[in-house]
């Protein structure tokens, strides 16, 4: 079967190369921008692809919402399977696209949208068929993991490790989606929809790593702790909880062994117990391998089932102690169980507090021009 | 679809309970020994199962080679899908049973035979369709991992942790298959067949944990090292390498965070990179969940492909430095790069040596009544 590829950037080239050596599949036409058709296999017309009867499936790796959404809908309407790595697209239009695929009797799969080379959504979808998923999440953003690991192992500043991540191609020129936690949040949205048939679209709590300083790292490192940006999701009554925030782990936690730009995805099944998957969360070949794995398994799995509906996340029942560094004049609004002075700041551990309340307190500090770093304490 | 269950022990009961709540599947008749039919759903005749048209699949969780092999063949001949947790059966007769399944147009799957709740073979089979698997293996025996972890974290003797493992139900009354590495070896045999279409049946090197002492643990722990029983497999010319031996890891290795009776399976794909899967490698519900996952995915995957053939493993190109503790009068046959005295023993690190040569040297010491512990040095 021929697979058309939409977009010929980092991942698209990887998918093309992998399809050339994959039994049963071969690369078909590749959609590029008009004027970029410098090889016979490159086309600039989506119509040429949907009208090509030799194309059985389409791999969408162009990114962005439009025209990706329109192109995917055209492909599905033409009866082509679609595999995509586009988490923003699936978060925004996945329910409608999955329904269209169902109507047309084809597959709509998006393993590569969450975890890169780590087969998280695939295994989650299978597990959810027969097991109750009690919780899910983990380290789902490789860029921030690289940065946190470099800050901790090399003692560098936030700005330095961000530049390093950009130089290595791990972070984009505008790194906001990664460092703000938005990328990780989109991934947990998809995971919740796969596991619970509930796609959370608002009600989130989201804290990235933009507030962390070398002094923060030095302080919690002296206490034997390691920081990771963690996404968390799970059932919450009729809806789900879904949030992203830094978390501090003791030295023996598996999360501490996740270094560089690796990901670590987890789910906890009532029957299977805790299942952890680690691997490269981004990059040409890891991401392309996830696209091609989906292409090899067309028809065998549904990631968004007919029951998937949009919900508002509810994190009110998620309660943790938090490590906090905050300006001394703003410290009074926090209930510390332990604290210590650090220049004009106060550092300490808070009494357990609900996730939305913690995030709201941090917002209140920042709205007043104050500075704060916080991270949940694991275990 | 009704699923008949062969055997109603730890895993069989778990499979029955999971099928009762799994959409699209329901428990069918359960095969027990004659005289044990104390419930209407229990039968003692395999003929009753294969002749029951409502039974679409059979879950074999009785263990042992016979009568499991005959029963599985009967089920496949009757056109029933078969899912099994029986690694000894698949290692011994998997090629023939997979061919019979292919001839009859049904599935023969055995995720639960390797890694328990960890979906290792499933993901390996999918990855092997489109990626080149450069190596595979990991911590595939939970019993020995529990014992090594307990020796290291609690400073206990080998005998004490073995009794503890037996009391907790992790080790059998005769623990030989676990502590000798045979159980782990059978798992790597299956993994090699899934990844490389080559089932190694001899030529192995296998060292378990029977020689480890509290003094060994104390010594390498003082050097910041942690011991795990590791299975390793990969391509070796026209055949594969496949061996089991203790390995010492530095403190930041992911293997060190695998505690208690957990498993950590790994494969390294040329495109996907290193993919690591962790979870509970044994126990009623983790193992049952792997059986039920296979039952939910019937028809979508082939674990043993038509090309699978038997080979002799070749470990000659696998070379490591080793940590060794050996009687002083036997130390002369080893080439140490560093060594230190320890009573009547010598301890030290060997110059890199091939796996079969190392295992043969240990055999030579033991044949002369000497004592030796060895473990490969990772990294």
| Residue pLDDT, tens place only, A291-336 | 999 999 898 899 999 999 999 999 999 999 999 999 999 999 999 9
Where do you find CATH 3.40.50.720 in chain A? Answer: 2-109
| Residue B124 contacts residue B131 (beta carbons within 8 Å) | no
* B142 has a pLDDT exceeding 90: yes
> Is A187 known to be catalytic?
yes
CB contact under 8 A, B288 and A271: yes
Alpha-carbon separation of residue A285 from A16, A137, A196 (angstroms): 10, 23, 30
Q: Which residue of B has its CA nearest to A272?
A: B286
**pLDDT confidence tier of residue B236, bands split at 50, 70 and 90:** very high
Of B23, B289, B300, the CB nearest to A297: B300
* B281 has a pLDDT exceeding 80: yes
Tens of pLDDT along A58-67?
999 999 999 9
Question: Mean pLDDT across the stretch B10-39?
Answer: 94
The 3-class SS string of B164-212 reads: HHHHCCCCCCCCHHHHCCHHHHHHHHHHHHHHHCEEEEECCEECCCCCC
Element (DSSP H or E) covering residue B101: helix B87-104
pLDDT of residue A239: 98
The pLDDT mean for chain B works out to: 96
* A242 has a pLDDT exceeding 80: yes
List of chain B residues whose C-beta atoms are within 8 Å of the C-beta of residue A286: 271-273
Question: Mean pLDDT across the stretch A201-222?
Answer: 97
Where do you find CATH 3.30.360.10 in chain B? Answer: 132-281
CB contact under 8 A, A254 and B257: yes
**CB-side neighbour CA atoms (13 Å) of A335:** 8
Number of Cβ pairs < 8 A linking chain A and chain B: 151
CB contact under 8 A, A288 and B270: no
Q: Is any Cβ of chain A less than 8 angstroms from the Cβ of B18?
A: yes
* A379 has a pLDDT exceeding 80: no
pLDDT of residue A170: 85
* B342 has a pLDDT exceeding 90: no
Percentage of residues of chain A with pLDDT beyond 90: 93
pLDDT of residue B158: 97
Question: Mean pLDDT across the stretch B335-358?
Answer: 96
Q: Which of residues 200-259 of B touch A (CB under 8 A)?
A: 252-254, 256-259
Q: Is any Cβ of chain B less than 8 angstroms from the Cβ of A23?
A: yes
Neighbours of B366 (CB within 10 A): 13
| Residue B101 contacts residue B80 (beta carbons within 8 Å) | no
* B280 has a pLDDT exceeding 80: yes
CB contact under 8 A, B269 and A14: no
pLDDT of residue A169: 85
* A359 has a pLDDT exceeding 90: yes
| B283 Cβ contact partners less than 8 Å away, ≥ 6 residues apart | A273, B10, B116, B117, B261
Where do you find CATH 3.30.70 in chain A? Answer: 319-377
Q: The domain A2-109: what is its CATH number?
A: 3.40.50.720
Q: Which residue of A has its CA nearest to B117?
A: A272
* B286 has a pLDDT exceeding 80: yes
For B132-281, which CATH superfamily applies? Dihydrodipicolinate Reductase; domain 2 (3.30.360.10)
Helix B158-167 crosses helix B142-154 at what angle (to 10 degrees)?
Answer: 130
CB contact under 8 A, A289 and B300: no
Strand-by-strand arrangement of the A2-6 sheet: A42-43, A26-31, A2-6, A55-60, A81-84, A108-109
pLDDT of residue A317: 98
Which residue is it, tokens 């390093």?
A164
* B326 has a pLDDT exceeding 80: yes
Which of B112, B228, B268, B273 to substitute to test the interface with A, most A CBs within 10 Å? B273
Q: Which residue of A has its CA nearest to B275?
A: A279
Instruction: Decide: residue A309, CB within 10 A, 0-12 exposed, 13-18 middle, 19+ buried.
Output: exposed
* B379 has a pLDDT exceeding 80: no
Question: Mean pLDDT across the stretch A109-133?
Answer: 95
pLDDT of residue B169: 85
Q: Which residue of B has its CA nearest to A299?
A: B300
List of chain A residues whose C-beta atoms are within 8 Å of the C-beta of residue B283: 273
pLDDT of residue B46: 97
pLDDT of residue A252: 82
Element (DSSP H or E) covering residue A248: strand A239-250
Q: Is any Cβ of chain A less than 8 angstroms from the Cβ of B1?
A: no
CB contact under 8 A, A273 and B117: yes
pLDDT of residue A377: 98
Q: Is any Cβ of chain B less than 8 angstroms from the Cβ of A348?
A: no
Q: Which of residues 257-286 of A touch B (CB under 8 A)?
A: 257-259, 269-280, 283, 285-286
Which one is catalytic: B80, B87, B187, B330?
A: B187
Supply the pTM of this predicted model.
0.94
Tens of pLDDT along B39-80?
999 999 999 999 999 999 999 999 999 999 999 999 999 999
Where do you find CATH 3.30.360.10 in chain A? Answer: 120-312
Percentage of residues of chain B with pLDDT beyond 70: 100
Which one is catalytic: A87, A187, A198, A266?
A: A187
pLDDT of residue A282: 83
CATH architecture type of domain A120-312: 2-Layer Sandwich (3.30)
CB contact under 8 A, B293 and A118: no
Q: Is any Cβ of chain B less than 8 angstroms from the Cβ of A126?
A: yes
pLDDT of residue A281: 85
Tens of pLDDT along B145-169?
999 999 999 999 999 999 999 998 8
Question: Mean pLDDT across the stretch A5-25?
Answer: 95
DSSP strand E in chain B: where? Answer: 2-6, 26-31, 42-43, 55-60, 81-84, 108-109, 133-139, 198-202, 205-206, 225-236, 239-250, 262-269, 273-280, 309-312, 319-320, 322-327, 336-342, 345-350, 353-354, 372-377
User: What CATH class is the domain A319-377?
Assistant: alpha beta
| B121 Cβ contact partners less than 8 Å away, ≥ 6 residues apart | B110, B111, B113, B114, B115, B190, B191, B194, B303
The pLDDT mean for chain A works out to: 96
pLDDT of residue B170: 85
Q: Which residue of B has its CA nearest to A118?
A: B275
């Amino acid at each position: 079967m021929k697979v058309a590829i939409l977009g010929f950037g980092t991942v698209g080239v990887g998918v093309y190369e992998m399809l050339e050596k994959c039994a049963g599949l071969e690369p078909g036409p590749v959609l590029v921008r008009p004027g970029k058709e410098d090889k016979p296999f490159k086309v600039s017309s989506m119509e040429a692809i949907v009208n090509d009867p030799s194309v059985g499936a389409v791999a969408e790796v162009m990114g962005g919402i439009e025209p990706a959404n329109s192109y995917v809908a055209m492909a599905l309407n033409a009866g082509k399977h679609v595999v995509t790595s586009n988490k923003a697209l699936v978060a925004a239009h996945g329910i409608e696209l999955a329904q269209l695929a169902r109507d047309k009797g084809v597959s709509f799969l998006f393993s590569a949208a969450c975890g890169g080379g780590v087969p998280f959504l695939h295994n989650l979808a299978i597990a959810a068929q027969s097991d109750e998923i009690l919780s899910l999440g983990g380290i789902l953003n490789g860029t921030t993991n690289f940065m946190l690991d470099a800050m901790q192992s090399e003692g560098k500043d936030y700005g330095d490790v961000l530049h390093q991540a950009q130089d290595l191609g791990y972070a984009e020129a505008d790194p906001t989606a990664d460092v703000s936690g938005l990328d990780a949040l989109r991934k947990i949205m998809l995971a919740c929809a796969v596991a619970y048939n509930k796609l959370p679209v608002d009600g989130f709590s989201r804290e990235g790593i933009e507030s962390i300083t070398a002094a923060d790292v030095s302080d919690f490192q002296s206490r034997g702790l390691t920081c990771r940006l963690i996404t968390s999701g799970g059932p919450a009554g009729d809806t789900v909880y879904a949030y992203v925030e830094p978390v501090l782990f003791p030295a023996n936690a598996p999360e501490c062994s996740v270094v560089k730009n690796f990901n670590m995805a987890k789910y906890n099944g009532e029957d299977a117990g805790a299942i952890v998957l680690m691997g490269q969360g981004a990059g040409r070949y890891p991401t392309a391998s996830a696209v091609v794995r989906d292409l090899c398994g067309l028809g065998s799995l549904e990631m968004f089932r007919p029951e998937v509906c949009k919900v508002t996340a509810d994190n009110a029942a998620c309660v943790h102690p938090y490590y906090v560094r905050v300006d001394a004049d703003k410290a009074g609004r926090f209930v510390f169980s332990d604290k210590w002075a650090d220049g004009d700041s106060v550092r300490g551990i808070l009494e357990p507090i609900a996730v939305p309340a913690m995030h709201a307190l941090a917002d209140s500090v920042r709205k007043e021009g104050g500075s704060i770093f916080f991270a949940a304490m694991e275990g």
